[in-house]
Structure 1
């Protein structure tokens, strides 16, 4: 990995851009689910519109951004960019794993909508909309402030 050290800042820049795109999707997708659950009936024009929006957000923005964030983050870890001897390194990793779990959960909910089998209320998706915010706060504070 030593040959990559000269590219660390570029890898970090791509990582930050990917995280921004991924987080935008993690913030927006549950909001789409709220409106989809509360305003669209299965098979309606609005239902089809929401399904297209949700699918494209996941496939074209969120999934590539998440994969890129993980690859760049993994490269930075391999180059010594995360201190696992301190709690903040583990807190950051835990937040990222939890964000990935939230992403997977949202992708499963999108599939539920796609086949007309959503069983969750708008309230569930409103609560789900808060999860990425809390995880983002944990990750950013852990890396920037390093309080522990």
Structure 2
């Protein structure tokens, strides 16, 4: 497969994944604000389905990213210092992704321990990390 196709698929799956993990905490905001059990039950379904829908995109992003690094080779990887920082930031996004799963499980048991403000901040935090990841990938400085 052409390197450009691998990059295109890596980017596509990353965008699909990010769309989901940007929306999931927004659902948590609304979920945390309601007292209506029927509405809470609907949010539980939406949150669970969304997390399971975007998780394969996270894995496909990883697979195509590793494929890209392998295609460029070990000497390139060693010299690409920007990539080392990017990978640390990407690891933080994966940790964030699985933390969202933890929250999905808490909400599914009606055990919400946070305010809607917490979820608003949680919703916005990964945007800055993604900005840094994109800048590093495009500018390739450091």
TM-score (norm 1): 0.88
Deviation at 1:122, TM superposition (A): 0.8
The answer for the alignment partner of 1:127 in structure 2 is 121
Which of 52, 56, 71 matches 2:63?
Answer: 71
- 1:45-94 Cα offsets, whole Å, 9 max, x none, are 1001101110111112x101001000110111111276442331112101
1:140–1:84 Cα change, 3 Å: farther
Which of 79, 84, 98 is matched with 1:85 structurally?
79
Partner SS for 2:26? helix
Q: Contact 1:91–1:138 at 8 Å: present in 2 too?
A: no
Structure 2: gaps (5+ residues): none
Residue among 1, 4, 12 paired with 1:17:
12
Cα distance between partner residues in 1 of 2:67 and 2:55: 18
- Count of residue correspondences: 140
Q: Which runs of 5+ in 1 are unaligned?
A: 1-5
CA RMSD of aligned residues (A): 1.5
Aligned residue runs from structure 1 range 1-148, under 5 A: 6-41=1-36, 44-60=37-53, 62-80=54-72, 83-148=77-142
Q: Relative to 1, partners in 2 of residues 1:45 and 1:136: Cα closer, same or farther, differing over 3 Å? A: same
Q: Which runs of 4+ in 1 moved over 2 A?
A: 81-87
TM-score, reference length from structure 2: 0.92
